Amino acid sequence: MSDPDTPYILREAAKRLDLPTRRLFLRNALGLGTLGLLGGCKVIDGLSAEQMLSGMNDFNDRAQAWLFNPSALAREYPESAITRPFPFNSFYTPNSPDLAPVIEAAGWVLNVTGQVERTADWTLPQLYALPQFTQITRHICIEGWSAIGKWGGVRLSHFLKVVGADTRAKYVTFRCDDEYVTSIDMATALHPQTQLCLWMDGRILERRHGFPLKLRVPTKLGFKNAKHVGEIEVGNDYTGGYWETYGYNWYSGL
């Protein structure tokens, strides 16, 4: 007779693994006849395992969204806790800041699309002129490291209000000048610490850290904090993201 806690234990164990390791874990579990307990379905081949993984991800996303408190703030730290130098990380290979895009401030604009009343492009001076706030929060990378940074910029909630975004829409998508893409739910977009970051540690954002515009979401894992943002789209169509196509959980809340 199986332990009634087995499905829960397997779910918790599997979701903490990277995708290749998770697949190996599930293949081994298949040999023990336990994988079907994860979702109450029969797993007989690789396709079934992939469907199970997808189902697990969907379940995790729904659970995290349900647990999310839009008024609870991520912890903030004193200046003495700031990590200097702040680590560089990227989605491209090799992981080198020399590959970060070179963007000229004078010609750059932020595109605003989708369910908004005002779709005019934004220049850097226009963004700098909006009300700014600073936060000292921790960036937590899915690879296992973390660092504390001082971030300055515009509340995304304020920006969405200025452009007349439909806050009943489900998603806000960010497309970047290095071809990275990610998206977040509207509740997270309206969170008071979610930020269009223009400054880091009291200086204009460096190229390596996302100049001219970075998404800062301290309630999410690091890969949701897109660099070099060039377009913001508001809408109801799920657009996923770069890492999500490789099996990472879309919601990825902390």
Query: Which two three-digit tokens encode residue 251?
Result: 């919601």
Residues 232, 111 contacting (CB under 8 angstroms): yes
**To 10 degrees, the CA torsion angle through 188, 127, 177, 82?**
-60
- Rounded CA gap, 128 and 108, in Å? 13
- Rounded CA gap, 188 and 106, in Å? 31
Task: List, for residues 141-195, the tens digit of each pLDDT value.
Answer: 999 999 999 999 999 999 999 999 999 999 999 999 999 999 999 999 999 999 9
Q: What's the predicted TM-score (pTM) here? A: 0.78
Q: Which residue has the tokens 């829960």?
A: 8
- Rounded CA gap, 240 and 242, in Å? 7
Strand partners for 233:
113, 173
Task: List, for residues 34-66, the tens digit of each pLDDT value.
Answer: 444 444 555 555 555 445 444 555 545 555 555
